[in-house]
Structure 1
Amino acid sequence: MPSLVSIVIPAYNNADYLAETLESVLAQTYQRLEVIVADHASTDRTWEVMEGYAGDPRITLLRTEAGGGALRNWNRVSQAATGTYLKLVCGDDLIAPESVAKQVAALESNPGAVLAASARDLIDASGRPFVRARGLAGLLGRHGGGDAIRRSVRRGTNIFGEPGCVMMRRDVLERVGWWDSRFPYLIDQATYSRVLLEGDFVGVDGSLAAFRVSSSQWSVRLVREQAEQTVGYNAWLADEHPEVISRSDQRIGDVRARLMARTRQLAYAYLGRRMSRAVVDAPAEAS
């Protein structure tokens, strides 16, 4: 019997996009799935959207009390999962129909691998791609977990992508203490690193997810804070795991993290202008 896969969705004020996210999850070619969705005290219609899927036997609906940030809801859905493999998909992102099948195959054909990832497209609020097949930095096939961590640090960015790009062994995530929010903007990358310290990485070919970039991510202050947290994360790894991250790796990663922050600011500025034009042009297109 194929392994059970848990797709977990921590939702917060995702009413505008959650149905599209759920449809992408339910359209998977891999059939042995459980889907767990938890609403983190949303103030919009998120719970109402979730209730529309209550009749699907694959889906479990949960509520998470307010507070605790992303960590509380990410752990809530992950700890409720029972599958061999776990994929967390944020409530406004998308996964390709073959995403689960390809990542399960990668993990099952590579005993000792604990995490698989693929590239993704970056999409705007309306779902239009503005960057395609981003991620992995050429890290395809099987690699040591430490080598994969080092590659990401030296690149100055999270080459593994958002959680929708990733599948990991649930028992390993539990063993390392679930999601790690000591660097809040790097809750995904820091957790991947702790998992990858336990085993190997597999890079899966193809762009198998879509990450939605929202207007809240255009802030210069937020991008600067992300860069500073990346520097802190690099220092943590070098201090705690010098056998994986050297001081040279740390320095290179710090410089590139700050350069990546500037690049991200420019990309978001372009996206903001593009979306503003789309709003202005919309009435003309509709007439």
Structure 2
Amino acid sequence: MSESERVDIMLPFYGREDHFRDAVASVLAQDSDRWRLVIIDDAYPDRAPFEWAASVADSRVEVIRHEVNLGINRSFQECLERSNATWVTIFGCDDLMHPRYVTRILELAERYPHAGLLHPGTEIIDAEGRPTRSLVDTAKAFYRPRGPKPLQLSGEDMAVSLTRGNWMNFPAIAWNGELARRIGFSPGYDVVQDLALALDVCEQGGSLVLDDDVVFSYRRHATSVSSWKAVDGSRFVEESAYFGHLADHFRARGWRRAARAARRHLSSRMNALTTVPAALMGRDTRGAGVLLRHALRP
């Protein structure tokens, strides 16, 4: 492994200040110094988090603030464009890196230098930082590949695994920088952009390496973008359109198993069904209708 190899940690921010400060602190606490942190404030209404981040006295930390809100997809794309390291992590502003995160990523990189993405072991925490496990996480665990780790997937096997049930925790992933920058995020997506990029990497010949060494805490809470877009049904409108596109694309490519998994997208439909009670409790009958149509359609 080259001594110049490092991890660019790109942190798009729009959220709770306390979670954000903890996320930044977890980067500063890494036991390896082979990282760079770039914080991109997407015009969050309160300037206090940006001002705090700008005061961090560490030459490896760069802070940028947008004049207007660009949204998730464009901010993620900017993260790729501003990166230049061999490996790139698009870190969640409410998540936590364990002190060995960078070290473990570089260990995996040395073993799998040509991988497309490295997925380290993760744990799930709630809004207060306590270990938790939701129905979504139980489903993800069911679809997550089994067997000795690290485990490497590629080609149609990788496409089937991710399409059948997107078990990844996106903010934990370290992407092959050169490959991810060349491909970029597909425009127009606010929910499936991580899955879309992973499958695009797969089609370009990149592999996915899955590890069990837990070095990352993924925070799941009701105010996250994925959570509120699930309750109002909008995430499933996007998912339905994307999986329909995938089914056609995989079929044309000759990946029949992947096309079948995309056409069925059972895990997405099950996730929608389990969200219906929350929509009804919030008196969102329109959202409940969207969820039911997605879950129960033939």
Name the TM tier (shorter chain): 0.7 to 0.9
The alignment yields a C-alpha RMSD, in angstroms, of 2.7
Aligned to 2:242: 233
Distance 1:171 1:32 in 2: 18
The alignment status of 1:161 with 2:163, answered yes or no, reads no
- The residue correspondences of 1:224-263 to structure 2 (distance < 5 A) are 224-242=233-251, 243-244=254-255, 246-253=258-265, 255-263=266-274
**Are the structure 2 counterparts of residues 246 and 192 from structure 1 closer, same or farther at C-alpha, using a change threshold of 3 Å?**
closer
* Structure 2 contact 96–218 (Cα < 8 Å) conserved: yes
Choose 225-234 or 56-65, whichever is displaced more: 225-234
Distance 1:17 1:101 in 2: 23
* Structure 1 contact 87–166 (Cα < 8 Å) conserved: yes
Shift of 1:24: 1.0
Aligned to 1:16: 18
> Pick from 131, 153, 160: which aligns with 1:150?
160
* Structure 2 contact 95–218 (Cα < 8 Å) conserved: yes
> Pick from 68, 75, 80: which aligns with 1:73?
75
The alignment status of 1:194 with 2:205, answered yes or no, reads no
Aligned to 1:114: 116
Per-residue displacement from partner, 1:250-273 (whole Å, max 9, x unpaired)?
2332x331112233567999xxxx
Aligned to 1:36: 38
State the aligned residue count. Answer: 264
Aligned to 2:144: 137
Per-residue displacement from partner, 1:123-157 (whole Å, max 9, x unpaired)?
222111212896571254112143222112112xx
AA aligned opposite 1:187? Q
Aligned to 1:213: 220
Aligned to 2:54: 51
Distance 2:63 2:9 in 1: 12
Distance 2:168 2:242 in 1: 15
Distance 2:26 2:155 in 1: 29
**Are the structure 2 counterparts of residues 15 and 37 from structure 1 closer, same or farther at C-alpha, using a change threshold of 3 Å?**
same
**Are the structure 2 counterparts of residues 2 and 265 from structure 1 closer, same or farther at C-alpha, using a change threshold of 3 Å?**
farther
TM-score normalised by structure 1 residue count: 0.81
* Structure 1 contact 107–202 (Cα < 8 Å) conserved: no
AA aligned opposite 1:258? R
Q: Could you tell me which runs of 5 or more consecutive residues in structure 1 were left unpaired when the two chains were aligned.
A: 270-287
Aligned to 1:173: 180
AA aligned opposite 1:201? L
Per-residue displacement from partner, 1:90-124 (whole Å, max 9, x unpaired)?
21111222222222222331243111113422222
AA aligned opposite 1:161? N
Distance 1:94 1:267 in 2: 27
AA aligned opposite 2:22? E
TM-score normalised by structure 2 residue count: 0.78
Distance 2:279 2:59 in 1: 40
Shift of 1:160: 1.5
* Structure 2 contact 153–208 (Cα < 8 Å) conserved: yes
AA aligned opposite 1:143? L
**Are the structure 2 counterparts of residues 267 and 29 from structure 1 closer, same or farther at C-alpha, using a change threshold of 3 Å?**
farther
Three-state SS of the structure 1 residue aligned to 2:116 is strand
